[in-house]
Amino acid sequence: MSKIETILTETLLSSFSPLDTLTSTQLKALISKCTIQDIADNEILFQQGEKDNKGIFIISGSATIYAPNGSTIKVTAGDELAKTALAHHQPRQVTVKSKNSLKVLSVNAEMLDLFLSWNQQTSCDTSKAQEQDYWISCLLGSPVFSKLSIENILALTRDMREIEVKKNQTIITQGEIHDYYYIIKKGRCQVSRKIGENKESQIIAELNVGQGFGEESLITDRRRNASITMMEDGLLICMSKKELFEYILNPILSYISFKFYKRHQKSMTLIDVRSPDEFKRGALPGSINVPLPVLRLKANGLHKNRLYIVCSSDGKRSAVAAYLLIQQGLRITTLKEKLHQLPLTHQRKKPDTPQPAKKTKSIQPEIEQSTLSETQNQTLEQTAQSEKKIVWEIASDYWGCPVASENEEPSPPQEKTPHQKSKTNHAIFPASNPAQTTLTPSQPRITLPKKSKPPLSHPWVTYTLALTTVLGALYFLLFMAP
């Protein structure tokens, strides 16, 4: 017998009883908790005494019910008996075995019973039934509650407490001590925050049915950071801190180790939710800083298909961040270790390290000063100063007395010994007469005129300056001296 593919639809579910009494919203929610199974010949579906919290409906094929007294009942798809769940009492009072190839629909019995009980309570009030239906669709359609198991949803709805609220009623006041976590069952709320002292509150968000508020204060044990005011009459579900962790946070939050992150970090993005100052003092390499107060606003820029890891110096801020991002429908997990337990790196920007200039040959006689590094400028300046000093010394030897440079104060002339004069004049100027160049202490000191400071340029410019000075002195000696 060839297998026929069967798709879960509202029409398929409503073909069975009592599923046909559920609303369209309830059927959509129930589909996520249903499965279609193929059963082989003579296979046991369930045995007497078992408790599996499932409702089994036959889609095709036939099965046999074995009662404790030995009697049997055959059930075939399409029969009146097959329109209801097979021996739906828990724990099971009979054993059921397939007679031939069988296709069955498995439904979560607890969720089905919850919907049926809600419908009985609102059967006489149409408007209340519609409100209940809308509440269920918003609650089960939210990214947070869609991750919860049916057991947690049932426990939550069983233990939750409702409170009636009026328009303009303040539910939470900024700065007060935390008490409860709230979920909106009916109505709308506005979120406002006062920044600084003596400033008016600013409206920063609006919350609708199925959304919650107040989790950050409960998780971090801090005072409320915003005020919540009702925009219309409504109903709120309130939960204590213990119930919040037991029914919502613990079931939906997941954790990974730092070692696992290191192995798969290319496919993940690490979000550090601490303050910017804490992030600068040390953070994990590759992490991005999105402080917790602005995380809700920045969440719109995150990619839905990317896996994000949140981390902080304590597990409380990480839990809040993970919960906020899960509410936005993002893929989120939490780093198990706290940041102070891991090797961190400083995030301060390091100053740029100057790179050594490459040596290149240049045919230009001059080099622009702006293209030289500070070290090169200092080297050229020292070379120019030393070469200028040689020129001044040569001139001093020629005139027989000290010649003041452009940065020196004049000093009393010192007469050189005949040996020194003879040695200098014959060595440098062999054609000159030493007697003619000898100066007495009474003669005026000769000071060369000041010249503008040569620019820092190629060394050949300095060599040209020195050669020009020597040639000028030689010319004066040969043709101008008496």
pLDDT over threshold 90, residue 95: yes
pLDDT over threshold 50, residue 169: yes
In contact, 394 and 438? CB cutoff 8 Å? no
Q: What is the pLDDT of residues 111-133, one digit of tens each?
A: 888 788 777 766 666 666 677 77
- Written as six digits, the tokens of 379 are 């080297």
pLDDT over threshold 70, residue 417: no
What pLDDT does 381 receive?
64
Q: What is the pLDDT of residues 317-361, one digit of tens each?
A: 899 999 989 888 899 999 998 888 887 776 544 444 444 444 444
What pLDDT does 58 receive?
93
pLDDT over threshold 70, residue 372: no
What pLDDT does 66 receive?
92
Q: Dihedrals φ, ψ of 278, to 5°?
A: -65, -40
Our CA angle for 249, 313, 245, nearest 5°, is: 15
All domains in the chain, ordered by first residue: 10-115 (2.60.120.10), 142-248 (2.60.120.10), 253-341 (3.40.250.10), 373-480 (no CATH)
Share of the chain above pLDDT 70, in %: 70
Once rounded to an integer, what is the mean pLDDT over residues 39-67? 90
State the Cα–Cα distance between residues 183 and 87, nearest whole angstrom: 37
pLDDT over threshold 90, residue 377: no
Q: What is the pLDDT of residues 273-311, one digit of tens each?
A: 999 999 988 888 889 999 988 888 888 888 888 899 999
Using 50, 70 and 90 to split pLDDT, how confident is the model at 209?
Answer: confident
Using 50, 70 and 90 to split pLDDT, how confident is the model at 384?
Answer: low
The residues, ordered by sequence, that sit 6+ positions from 291 with a Cβ below 8 Å of its Cβ are: 273, 274, 275, 276
In contact, 46 and 74? CB cutoff 8 Å? no
Between residues 23 and 172, the one the model is more confident about? 172
State the Cα–Cα distance between residues 213 and 280, nearest whole angstrom: 31
Torsion angle defined by CA atoms of residues 251, 253, 258 and 260, in that order, rounded to the nearest 10 degrees:
70
Between residues 404 and 24, the one the model is more confident about? 24
